[in-house]
Structure 1
Amino acid sequence: MKNYQKPNPEVWTGRSSEKELYLHEKINCIDLTKDPLETVKDKSFAVLGYVCDEGVKRNQGRIGAVEGPQAIRKMMASLSNHFSSDVQLLDVGNMTCIDQDLEETQQDTSDSIALLLQHAIFPIVLGGGHDLAYAHYNGIKKQFPNKTIGIINLDAHFDLRKVEGKGNSGTPFFQIAQENKDFNYLCLGIQKESNNRELFEVATNYKVDYLLNTEFTSQNKQKVAQTVANFINTVDLVYLTIDIDGFSSAYAPGVSAPSPFGFSIDIAMETIQQICKSNKLISADLVELNPTYDIDNCTARLAARIAYYMMTWL
């Protein structure tokens, strides 16, 4: 894997203790090309970085998401460790994009995700652009070829643009739909203003389930919960992808495409909890964090807390 970059332990720093009181003291850095992967008694999680915003660039977005994985790691490092000794937390490094070869980066990412799943390790992949989703789905499919995989996307955008030339951060779910007869996709937080009529037509043609940002609210949480439950009941496994730019820019200014009318933290967290408790969630990612535009690391802190929250409920 020429795109692979081993983890940097220096990212994981913070207060010191003798009792592993902080995540930076608990995490183990593993070189996927050398170190053996082992699962532990309870649960194993692996942080994998997708250090790539070539897809964002191709999609004419503002670049900077390439710095997202390290920014999230830094904010995770100082979080308090409330996990038991039976929970294993790994940093397995990054996938980088060399010579603008997005497709090769996606292939290496897919292989790495499949390897983690093969060892019963839950991947938490940090982006990077949302083109990660194409790689992520294929990694799950490689390991579970006979399972029905459902995609739940918390996002302002469908990312169902038709591929014109090469794939990008706006095309991953269209690519998945094109290559898989069994396409199961639920998108929460869709904004009409950010998706043109053709994208809604593509969503209809592929029978995509979705809730608009005006529906994905705490005031409407019963309908949200029922929509999520109905979708989960139709699939064997769930892949959760969270586009940070789906949140209101009041919470997440440091993203590729800020959303002043995005969803709130409370409904997102309730939904994530529900998905985690379904016992079908197999893998997850966080994408489109752009530290260049962040304010006091608040967006990176949000992403770090979401990752922590998922591990807690899993």
Structure 2
Amino acid sequence: MSTDLAVAVDVAPTPWSGRDDGPGVEHLRWHHVVSLDPSAAGPDDVAFVGFRSDEGVRRNRGRQGAADGPRALRAALASMALPRRVPALDVGDVQVADGDLEAGHRRLGEAVSALLDRGHRVTVLGGGHEVAYGSYLGVSGSGLLRDGARLGVLNLDAHFDLRDEARPSSGTPFLQMARDEERAGRRLNYWVLGVSQPSNTETLFRTADRLGVRYLPDTECGTLDRYRVDGFVEEFLASCDVVHLTIDLDVLPAASAPGVSAPAAYGVPIEIVEHVCTQVAASGKPLLVDVAELNPALDVDHRTARTAARLLHRILLTCG
């Protein structure tokens, strides 16, 4: 492992394992293609990095357990069948075990920046949704935004996560981003698909309006609303050159994603969420993805982990 990643990542990667039906490309699954050796990885390889953190959820007074999300996501993805070889790398995890979320964000940002600057397509496995700010530090600190490239942040989420609080939490990452962008002389280009009105106070809606956030409510993201969803995503993609796609699994109905801190009573159907992920991945724009809020202790029949793994599977095959 190179010096920059060794400094940033706290927990070394462990081998992926899963079902094995025999040798040959016709039996490929994710666990067959994931390497743990950065020196052997090509610049275009998929790169996974985990963010083991419950601290943001704890500060936001949610149900803790998302620190085990990276482990469950890897396990769910490992046995998924591949139609072709997709070279991949796992560099391990950043761990927030001492309550120092701010330091965890910095380390995650350093790891993500290093991977992006090598040309990897990076997927961050959360962790609470505080992971999004660490991912943002990675893309904003990388070379992707040099020469005036425009960053766009698309959040699939029931919540704006724009809380104005004294300490960062899983409810604050996008306000943190907005303030960082303002300090850099830019305006955060932030879009949210799946916002739930009952889950966001009027203060949060006013904050979103003040920051120029574009959003589509969950009530306008049903299977009969695909034309509206397509238009929303097309407008988002036209507004940016580099995409940070952040998926909070509580955007999905509780039947698809019971294992989250705040299960959705309504939610956006899985077929719409997968369609959006595919649309973004097919755009050809540089893409950083993170997945948040998987809590294995609350999951039922591994539904949430399997749903999250399917979304990542679709994204990585589409943009690969």
Corresponding residue of 2:39:
36
Alignment of 1:81-100 (within 5 A): 81-84=82-85, 87-100=86-99
Residue 12 of structure 1 and its aligned partner are, at CA, apart by 2.3
Paired residues of 2:281 and 2:287 also in contact (CA < 8 A): no
Corresponding residue of 1:194:
199
CA distance in 1, matches of 2:145, 2:278: 26
Q: Amino acid of the residue matched to residue 126 of structure 2?
A: G
Corresponding residue of 2:4:
none
Listed as ranges, the gaps of 5+ residues in structure 2 are 1-6
Give the total of aligned pairs: 304
Corresponding residue of 2:295:
290
Q: 1:59 to 1:2 in 2, by over 3 A?
A: same
CA distance in 2, matches of 1:288, 1:294: 11
Give percent identity, aligned residues only: 36
TM-score (ref. length: structure 2)? 0.92
CA distance in 1, matches of 2:72, 2:257: 14
Q: Amino acid of the residue matched to residue 131 of structure 2?
A: L
1:247 aligns with 2:252: yes
Corresponding residue of 2:153:
151
Residue 192 of structure 1 and its aligned partner are, at CA, apart by 0.6
Paired residues of 2:105 and 2:137 also in contact (CA < 8 A): no
Corresponding residue of 1:205:
210
Alignment of 1:1-314 (within 5 A): 1=7, 4-9=10-15, 11-19=16-24, 21=27, 22-30=29-37, 35-36=38-39, 38-39=41-42, 43-84=44-85, 87-143=86-142, 144-146=144-146, 147-164=149-166, 166-180=167-181, 181-314=186-319
Residue 98 of structure 1 and its aligned partner are, at CA, apart by 3.1
Paired residues of 1:122 and 1:283 also in contact (CA < 8 A): yes
CA distance in 2, matches of 1:103, 1:219: 42
Q: Amino acid of the residue matched to residue 36 of structure 1?
A: S
Q: Which stretch of the first structure deviates more once superposed, 275-284 or 288-297?
A: 275-284
Q: Amino acid of the residue matched to residue 186 of structure 1?
A: W
Deviations 1:35-92 (A, max 9, x none): 426425xx410111111110000100000000111001111111112223xx311111
Corresponding residue of 2:3:
none
CA distance in 2, matches of 1:25, 1:3: 23
CA distance in 1, matches of 2:225, 2:8: 47
TM-score (ref. length: structure 1)? 0.93
Q: Amino acid of the residue matched to residue 151 of structure 1?
A: V
